Structure 1
Amino acid sequence: MTDAVLHPDSGRAQAPAYLGSDGEAVDWVKIFLGFGGMVLGQFMAMLDIQIVASSLVQIQAGIGATSDEISWVQTIYLLAEVVIMPLTAYLTKMWGTRPFYVIAVIGFMVTSVATGLSTSVGVMIVFRALQGIFAGAMIPPIFATAMTVFPPERRVTANVIVGLIVTLAPTVGPTLGGHLTEALDWRWLFFINVPVGALVIFLVGRYGDFDRGNPDLAKGIDWWGLGLMTVFLLSMQYVLEEGSDEGWFQDDLILWLTVAAVLTGIAFIWRQLSYRQPIVSFTPFHDRNFSLGIVMIFISGASLFGGTFLLPIFLGQVRGFSSAEVGTTMLVSGLSMFLSAPIAGRLIRMVDVRVAMVVGFALAAWAIQLGVRVTDQWGFREFFVLQAVRGFGTMIAMIAAQQMAVSTLSVTEMKDASGLINLVRNVAGAIGLAMLSTILTHQSAVHYADLASALSVANPQGAAMFEGLTQMMTAGGLADPEGAARKAFSLMMHRQAATLSFGDAFGVLALGCWVAAALAVFAKPGKGVSLQGGGH
């Protein structure tokens, strides 16, 4: 197939047969093999975000890094990934999807090997950044391809596959990484990309002839816009990643980077709206469904990453679970999303996409809201329903939001829309994590102050608790039972304050999902993506 637009054969009375631009019937085996190669590439790119999470200690020892330095192995990957995502639409239009994707995979493989061979933290951070750039280039094209090479009746299935990758890769990343490190070595976290990447190159290179590039776009590239976008996204992502740990605007670097992000962001948007050949097109925002869809993709992204962020911290810090116990508990979310994907696809085909979004976000909101009542005794059983229903609802909401966002767009806008959707999802995750981190820190302090005043040793209830602890410490034969009792009393209040702050964080996440469910009502019913309008 040589053109991204598939034209229905109106001469047939039965279901339309989709033809290529040369008038020949489309070879669906080749289409699925080429698309499958891109799916595998996206999975590999997204897997590498979290695959190092469970092996940071081993990597730190292997390259002699400090605790602060090793965190950049993850952070720099995300920073670089975000910067390239909006550019993928422009670059795939200029070069064509197949050449662009193959180049990105080759670059990803080379930088993966270089990262695995690194002997110092500085070298690893540089190659990890380059790896993130190539990974970010591999993620958006798959959604644009799914929405352009498949006829309307197959697009939901393709969308379900994309949704599975988005949710499954981050879930299995830490588990797979831990097993690889234990069985081989932490360097194989990066070397494993070589055989997988080779398979992707073969499939996409041989069967991924989805469109043709337009070399004329190489003339008049908006370099000023590119520079402004780079500064804007890097500054914003760094502030979101590090702001909570650094006390936000109390840190001078965070303050000035925020100013830089605001100024360059405004300048970048103005430049793209006024320049004759923008590197990022905001045309899809003229469509009401796309604008609403972006809001809901943002909320579903924050819900997905936010829920994945809150549970491990609670289980580790409050319950004291081991890594294996946390992994076992968190497996419920991944399995729920994986198993619910076919059901979500069928539901979206059967009902109006707005109904699917309302149902998905309402289920996610109800499940997350269960966490408002969390106690310091919650574990696998108590979180089971929350995770299972949240995973099911989030999968429906995410797929439906993506489907609605592009349902009334033309084919020529798909690549721009895909880059924006993936960028918004990643930024939503970063904003969600930053917001939740701030809530946990702030509300924990507030709840501790409230508990300290309510359970002071000066009041009867507090005095009774303190006396009971002192007797326990005395019975234990401690040299300073009163001092030990004070310390235990303080730890109990800190634990309870932390638990209450997690309940507040779950409440904020649930509220966001309820808002998204309400917004879904205002979408227009989509009639499928127009198949007219030519190629890219």
Structure 2
Amino acid sequence: MNTPTANNATIATPGKVDYVEPRYYFTFFTMCFAMFMVILDIQVVSASLTQIQAGLSASTDELPWIQTSYLIAKVISVPLSGFLLRAFSTRYTFTFSAAAFTVMSIMCATATTMNEMIFWRALQGFVGGPLVPAVFATAFTIFPRSKQYLIGSIIAIVATLGPTLGPTIGGYLTETFSWQWIFLVNIIPGIFVTITGWRLIDFDKPNLKLLEGFDWPGLFGMALFLGALQYVLQEGPREDWIESGTVTAGMLISGAGACLFFWRAFNAANPIVDLSAFRVRNFWTGATFGFMIGVGLHGLTYLYPIYLATVRDFSPLMIGTTMIVTGLAQLATGPIAGRLVLILDLRLLLGISFATFALGTWQASYITNDWGFYELIIPQILRGSSIMLALAAVNIITLGTLPAERLKNASALYTLMRNLGGAVGLALINTGLNNRLDLHLARLNEQMSWGRYQVEEALTRFTESFAALNSDARLAALKKLAGIVRQEALVMAFADLFLALTACFLIMLVLLLIMRRTERY
């Protein structure tokens, strides 16, 4: 293996011979399918929350905890997975996680109360957390440098298709069968993945000596830090942040947990999470790009369905049909991305992808209240293709420059950064949407003063249309006008958020100047 120089980072290769046994390809593709299941399970549930609420007789306040419990547990187990993969090996960790994830999916489908659903969803998120880091670590361990362009593209496709196809698959299963099927659909693939992983994964061995002197304080601090942080990010926008006592308490708990976690990470002989990968320039810059990819991937997967549901009144299936354009663009771009990493400087490819993403969100900033499938085609194509190109490049930049012995832990950190990007992005988007809605609503209300010709004309027209209500016609007209004003304010808030995302992705281009060039394949 070549040694990185000051100006040129070299992509690590696990072996000198480029030949890879065919069964390793099959094993890797199977592991990627497990990764797809875990990522998909976040968005597939979001499309069916209303039906789950009705089926479990849940209150509106309880409903978000179906997602919150899953994400809190997952964000704790992802960084822990680096230690688990090193201590118990990929075979035992991956197989247990896949089997447990399948069992938890069955339990979620059989839940009869909201408390049961929240409990099983939390366990599902925790046991499924190690599956994604295991795929990243495997990809850059068993495949030589000459194969990593192909492997990186496959991972990019899987990582992006899960969030994109989630609303489509969830909407179809819910409307065609019932909400239970969004969980039951995991059973057969889960069994297949578990058996395949147990029989074919054999490229590393357990190192049980790592369990000696296990860093329990570090684990406790990490759980408090990341768990409370995820809660704050999920509930903060709904509870108006520091105006809520529970959110404020979550901030304090997260801060205290962070102090304990980082103290142990820098001082313990065998810390629960090794942060030394952040000393590598390409790792921390690549992880930062991964964070921003999480913002864009999960943020727009959230924004578009919210717009289509609240402004256009689309059904879950119609939303899924509209969103599938992004998935098709990602599939079409996958083979192209695989070739481009061979031709272009990966930093240039990453810059092109972020600029393309910014172009797509800039076009989306011209959104109006009548945008639908056709108006969103170009922004979604730009989004899908750019995310695919970005992940194909950044996966190699971030992990391909590390030696094999550091990949398991680094893969967990990289996955955590992308997950945190999604969580932080959604929190900021929710807060921004509420704040900009209030601002535009206040400004539009100032224009709705009595005596203005346009206002009086609209009220008269609406009143006449509600003539059958007799004395209530005027009140119904006022309500309709207020609804129109609110809808326009909401659309303007969406446009502001698209512009903000455009600025964020353009600013990230500056970070490319810090990255080191990776050796071309």
TM-score greater than 0.5 by the shorter chain: yes
Q: Deviations over 1:45-72 (max 9, x none)?
A: 2222222233334433433333332332
State whether residues 407 and 527 of structure 1, in contact with CA within 8 Å, keep that contact through their aligned partners in structure 2: no
Rounded to whole Å, the distance in 1 between the matches of 2:168 and 2:112 is: 25
Bigger RCO of structures 1 and 2 (CA < 8 A, at least 6 apart): 2
In the other structure, the counterpart of 1:315 is 308
Secondary structure in 2 aligned to 1:368?
A: helix
Rounded to whole Å, the distance in 2 between the matches of 1:61 and 1:379 is: 28
| Count of residues in Structure 1 that have an aligned counterpart in Structure 2 | 508
Task: Tell me which of 186, 200, 206 is aligned to 2:193.
Answer: 200
Q: Deviations over 1:336-366 (max 9, x none)?
A: 1121111112112210000001100000001
Give the residue type in structure 1 aligned to 2:463. Answer: M
**Which segment is superposed worse, 510-519 or 426-435?**
510-519
Task: Tell me which of 104, 107, 110 is aligned to 1:111.
Answer: 104
**Which segment is superposed worse, 62-71 or 41-50?**
62-71
In the other structure, the counterpart of 1:268 is 261
Alignment of 1:326-365 (within 5 A): 326-365=319-358
In the other structure, the counterpart of 2:15 is 7
Rounded to whole Å, the distance in 1 between the matches of 2:319 and 2:170 is: 15
**Aligned in 2, Cα 1:410/1:195: closer, same or farther, shift over 3 Å?**
same
Give the residue type in structure 2 aligned to 1:432. Answer: G
Q: Deviations over 1:446-466 (max 9, x none)?
A: 1111122234235xxx33332
State whether residues 375 and 499 of structure 1, in contact with CA within 8 Å, keep that contact through their aligned partners in structure 2: yes
Secondary structure in 1 aligned to 2:269?
A: coil
Task: Tell me which of 454, 457, 467 is aligned to 1:467.
Answer: 457
Task: Kindly state the Cα deviation for residue 228 of structure 1 after the two structures are TM-superposed.
Answer: 0.4
In the other structure, the counterpart of 1:255 is 248
**Aligned in 2, Cα 1:28/1:449: closer, same or farther, shift over 3 Å?**
same
**Which segment is superposed worse, 333-342 or 298-307?**
333-342
In the other structure, the counterpart of 2:230 is 237
Q: Does 1:452 align with 2:445?
A: yes
In the other structure, the counterpart of 2:64 is 71
Alignment of 1:12-411 (within 5 A): 17-18=17-18, 28-411=21-404
Give the residue type in structure 1 aligned to 2:453. Answer: A
In the other structure, the counterpart of 2:479 is 487
**Which segment is superposed worse, 299-308 or 326-335?**
326-335
State whether residues 327 and 384 of structure 2, in contact with CA within 8 Å, keep that contact through their aligned partners in structure 1: yes
Rounded to whole Å, the distance in 2 between the matches of 1:214 and 1:97 is: 11
Give the residue type in structure 2 aligned to 1:457. Answer: W
State whether residues 306 and 509 of structure 1, in contact with CA within 8 Å, keep that contact through their aligned partners in structure 2: no
Q: Deviations over 1:11-67 (max 9, x none)?
A: xxxxxx34xxxxxxx652111122122112111222222222333344334333333
State whether residues 289 and 407 of structure 1, in contact with CA within 8 Å, keep that contact through their aligned partners in structure 2: no
Task: Tell me which of 522, 526, 534 is aligned to 2:518.
Answer: 526
In the other structure, the counterpart of 2:5 is none
State whether residues 265 and 274 of structure 2, in contact with CA within 8 Å, keep that contact through their aligned partners in structure 1: yes
Which structure 1 residue ranges, 5 or more long, are not aligned?
Answer: 9-16, 19-25, 530-536
**Aligned in 2, Cα 1:488/1:185: closer, same or farther, shift over 3 Å?**
closer
State whether residues 222 and 261 of structure 2, in contact with CA within 8 Å, keep that contact through their aligned partners in structure 1: yes
State whether residues 447 and 497 of structure 1, in contact with CA within 8 Å, keep that contact through their aligned partners in structure 2: yes
**Aligned in 2, Cα 1:66/1:340: closer, same or farther, shift over 3 Å?**
same
Give the residue type in structure 1 aligned to 2:518. Answer: G
Task: Tell me which of 469, 493, 504 is aligned to 1:512.
Answer: 504
Task: Kindly state the Cα deviation for residue 269 of structure 1 after the two structures are TM-superposed.
Answer: 1.3
State whether residues 167 and 316 of structure 2, in contact with CA within 8 Å, keep that contact through their aligned partners in structure 1: no
Q: Deviations over 1:392-438 (max 9, x none)?
A: 11211122122211243222221111101111111111111110111
TM-score by length of 2: 0.93
Secondary structure in 2 aligned to 1:431?
A: helix
Rounded to whole Å, the distance in 2 between the matches of 1:389 and 1:492 is: 31
Secondary structure in 1 aligned to 2:402?
A: coil
**Aligned in 2, Cα 1:38/1:368: closer, same or farther, shift over 3 Å?**
same
**Aligned in 2, Cα 1:289/1:123: closer, same or farther, shift over 3 Å?**
same
Give the residue type in structure 1 aligned to 2:140. Answer: M
Give the residue type in structure 2 aligned to 1:139. Answer: V
Q: Deviations over 1:131-161 (max 9, x none)?
A: 1111112111100110111001111211111
Give the residue type in structure 2 aligned to 1:290. Answer: F
Secondary structure in 2 aligned to 1:115?
A: helix
State whether residues 163 and 297 of structure 2, in contact with CA within 8 Å, keep that contact through their aligned partners in structure 1: no
**Aligned in 2, Cα 1:442/1:35: closer, same or farther, shift over 3 Å?**
same
Rounded to whole Å, the distance in 2 between the matches of 1:211 and 1:194 is: 27
**Aligned in 2, Cα 1:468/1:257: closer, same or farther, shift over 3 Å?**
closer
Rounded to whole Å, the distance in 2 between the matches of 1:179 and 1:497 is: 31
**Which segment is superposed worse, 370-379 or 218-227?**
370-379
CA RMSD of aligned residues (A): 2.0
**Aligned in 2, Cα 1:212/1:439: closer, same or farther, shift over 3 Å?**
same
Rounded to whole Å, the distance in 1 between the matches of 2:382 and 2:213 is: 50
Rounded to whole Å, the distance in 1 between the matches of 2:458 and 2:57 is: 47
Rounded to whole Å, the distance in 2 between the matches of 1:66 and 1:485 is: 31
Rounded to whole Å, the distance in 1 between the matches of 2:261 and 2:346 is: 33
State whether residues 408 and 527 of structure 1, in contact with CA within 8 Å, keep that contact through their aligned partners in structure 2: no
Which structure 2 residue ranges, 5 or more long, are not aligned?
Answer: 1-11
Task: Kindly state the Cα deviation for residue 182 of structure 1 after the two structures are TM-superposed.
Answer: 4.5
Task: Kindly state the Cα deviation for residue 168 of structure 1 after the two structures are TM-superposed.
Answer: 0.9
**Aligned in 2, Cα 1:180/1:455: closer, same or farther, shift over 3 Å?**
closer
Give the residue type in structure 1 aligned to 2:72. Answer: L
Q: Deviations over 1:440-483 (max 9, x none)?
A: 1101111111122234235xxx3333234314423652534543
Secondary structure in 2 aligned to 1:370?
A: helix
State whether residues 168 and 317 of structure 2, in contact with CA within 8 Å, keep that contact through their aligned partners in structure 1: no
